[in-house]
Structure 1
Amino acid sequence: MNVEGSAFGPVFSEFDGSQPQGEARLVPGRDSFLDICRAGARLAGAQFCVALLCAALLSCLPGSAAAGVDDKPARDLFGAVTTPTTGAARPLGFFAKGCLAGAVALPLDGDDWQVMRLSRNRNWGTPVLVKTIEHIARDAHRAGWPGLLIGDMSQPRGGPMKTGHASHQIGLDVDIWLTPMPSHTLSRGEREEMSAVNVVTQDRLDVDRSIWTPAHLALVKAAASQPETTRVFVNAAIKKALCRTAGSDRAWMTRVRPYWGHDDHIHVRLACPSGASSCEDQDAPPSGDGCDEKDLAYWFQPSVLHPTPSPPRPPLTLSALPDACRAVLMEH
């Protein structure tokens, strides 16, 4: 078996890079599969051998069989997995082209939040995302928002989703509804059937002032003010309303970015965690509060407000994702 040229390669590279100083390095082609497996088990547990064996077996498949897996839409593969991998959390790749190892679940209910759409099984993320959601819920509640209704985070192993998102793939994105949490604990049925409230007027030019309140502003500010947050995507009409009413403390406004949709929820994105070497970050947002008339005017052009629909992009395949995502997908 050619270890370096197979699916086994990324697994070995990650293991080799974390080997304790002073321990002999294992070399593909010189050391046996069993030697490598034993060493991996000492460091990461028996699951390492399972993932390693799956990767090795897949690399030995005839080319047509392996290509069949590589060419399959990744959204179908990751969407079918219902549990996370073991081990430490690792966001792998880019927000819209990656996967997630070691995901943790946000509890379905907290003092200041409730998770919606439980049937989707998308309340997974990195530990830093879970902690940040808790902090947003706490800070927003103190500022007058009753509590968070949590939409999609990531799937148990991240990756592309069958519906709804291009991003949310590496455990660093969360949708938070612009609907206040009710005072009672929602039933599973209510969480499936209840709809988020659109806060933008029908002409898309401003927020609906019969719905939008100072508490909505407090929610967006709480999300954008977290040190881990890099962006909060909102509808351009919401950005315009924030520019009008944000007050003198506007440092957080640079992270609030207008984008299509996002009229009934905000999309919070965190930066790659410190030490997450396989996570690909975005450049920091432009400086300033983003409220220049010229900046906002772009979003209210008729061609931007009502863009011509584009043909759907071909779905990402497994081969298009970082190599390490194959091992993440196959762990049992």
Structure 2
Amino acid sequence: MIRAALIALSIALLPALAPAPAEAQQKANRLFGSHPEGSRQRPESIGFYSKGCAAGLVELPETGPTWQAMRLSRNRNWGHPDTIEFIQRLSSGVRKFGWPGLYIGDISQPRGGPMVSGHASHQVGLDIDIWMDKPRSLRLTRNQRENLSATSVRASSQKTVNGNWTPAHAAVLELAARDPAVDRIFVTPPVKIYLCERAKRRDKKWLQKIRPLYGHHYHFHVRLKCPKGSRECVTQQPTVNELSNGGDGCDETLQWWVTDYLNPPKVKAAPKKAPAPKKRHPRDFTMADLPRSCVGVLNSD
């Protein structure tokens, strides 16, 4: 009878011992967003840019000789050491184009991972948002950095750049694209079109890194390659379109943005299909969705 009672008790406890469904588990963005500092681990980017985390991230100083970190209340000025070095390198280099430096937007949270608001990417310490503005001052107060608005370089027609755009903007983007640490740079499509129309025919390879993406008219988004030593970092693979036409992507941009996106061709209505399953946003991720090593990053001192 005792054995039967124990079996019955075990069966009754099974539901309590079973893992909670994903929707009932605590969201990964809440866990990562709660850490004010990086982990005391060897620097490593783990996983993919929109599905990962990062160990041993370094905080970009709020103010440097050629940069200022913006929106400090977000605490997203953390990056892999290679990322911090890139920011210092690029912000110093833009001075030859008449810019005193750069305004730096979001990089990553102290331990990377999904964010409570905003980006789907910026999770592994290798993404950097850089404002399109030539800095007015590199001595902004904390309050000014919270309230100053970035400037759009896209015209209202969405087909061309506007009067805020200057040749110096093009020079800054080319300098960034030519850096060997850079994998790609996301910009508003009119910027890509501008660069394609004016690039030298014999030297357009750097344009392959400039990728058009809706939005990105207030800032450009630099994505670095996986650093050496980050064995779990997942490299982003190029698409077929990115490799065509010599790899500069200029013809595809003109076709996609001006014709297909802004003025889509009329086509016959296709038969209605069952709606595709809604893709989960990183804000819905739990720890089970991320690489296993992220648990160690989250729990490290």
> Under a length normalisation based on structure 1, what TM-score does the superposition of the two structures give?
0.75
Counterpart of 1:328? 297
1:313 to 2:267 alignment: no
CA distance in 1, matches of 2:117, 2:110: 15
Is contact 2:33-2:109 (8 Å) kept? yes
Between the two proteins, the alignment pairs up a number of residues equal to 266
1:262-302 C-alpha deviation (Å, 9 max, x unpaired):
0110000011012311101012452422212x442112246
Counterpart of 1:95? 49
1:188-243 C-alpha deviation (Å, 9 max, x unpaired):
011000011011011211100x2110111111112111110010000111100111
CA distance in 1, matches of 2:287, 2:207: 37
Counterpart of 2:133? 179
Runs of 4+ in 1 over 3 A off after TM superposition: 62-70, 301-306, 310-314
Tell me how large the CA RMSD over aligned residues is. 2.3
1:253 to 2:212 alignment: no
Residues 263 and 312 from structure 1, CA distance in 2 versus in 1: closer, same or farther, beyond 3 angstroms? farther
CA distance in 1, matches of 2:53, 2:294: 6
CA distance in 2, matches of 1:256, 1:121: 27
Counterpart of 2:229? 275
**Which residues of structure 1 form unaligned runs of 5+?**
1-61
- SS, match of residue 134 in structure 2: coil
Is contact 1:71-1:319 (8 Å) kept? no
2:255 to 274, 294, 297: 297
1:288 to 2:255 alignment: no
- SS, match of residue 202 in structure 1: coil
CA distance in 2, matches of 1:276, 1:283: 17
Equivalent runs, 1:176-215 vs 2, <5 Å: 176-208=130-162, 210-215=163-168
> Under a length normalisation based on structure 2, what TM-score does the superposition of the two structures give?
0.82
Residues 302 and 283 from structure 1, CA distance in 2 versus in 1: closer, same or farther, beyond 3 angstroms? closer
Counterpart of 1:137? 91
Between 228-237 and 176-185, the greater mean CA deviation after superposition: 176-185
- SS, match of residue 196 in structure 1: coil
Counterpart of 2:269? none
CA distance in 1, matches of 2:88, 2:285: 32
- What amino acid is the match of 1:313? R
Is contact 1:124-1:156 (8 Å) kept? yes
